[in-house]
Amino acid sequence: MKLGNRAQQHLLAVPVRLCCRRTGSLLLELIVAVFVLALVVIPASQYVTNALRAGDKTQSSVRAALLCESRLNEILAQEAGAWQNSNGTFDSASDYEWEFTLSAMTISSLQRACMTVRSRSSGRILAEQVVFVRKPKLTDHRK
């Protein structure tokens, strides 16, 4: 079966028109897909950023608590009469500073020992530990 020139031209033109229409719709589908993806990815990235910040704060707080406990144990390991109010920075963590205070209690045989760790940059208290210790007994060496 032989087709005329007009029929041949019509058959050749149909795929070209379909191809052009399909390309236009693909571009529109691609734009919509990118927009929908952006609507999902932007809030998700904010959640990830917030989670990372929370992780940093937690790590900082845990480190401060460990430093606090360590320094308090160092001070309390000294002879009881050598305890005194003091402060300083940590050799291993210069971005933290500590303060040790010893105060009297209403019960005459006890003292309140408090170790506080602060951030040097913000001055915010990151960790604090309080223990109650016996006052050292004064001995009479005149015997």
CATH of the domain at 95: 3.30.1300.30
Contacts of 79 (CB under 8 A, 6+ apart): 136
Q: What is the pTM of this model?
A: 0.62
Which of 7-16, 20-29, 30-39, 54-63 shows the lowest per-residue confidence on average (mean pLDDT)? 7-16
- The number of distinct structural domains making up the chain is 1
> Could you tell me which residues are beta bridge partners of residue 111?
104, 133
pLDDT in tens, 73-114: 999 898 877 888 999 999 888 899 999 999 988 888 889 999
Structural domain for 35, as ranges? 5-134
Supply the pLDDT for residue 125. Answer: 93
Helical residues (DSSP H) of the chain, grouped into ranges? 5-77
Q: Is residue 81 part of a domain?
A: yes
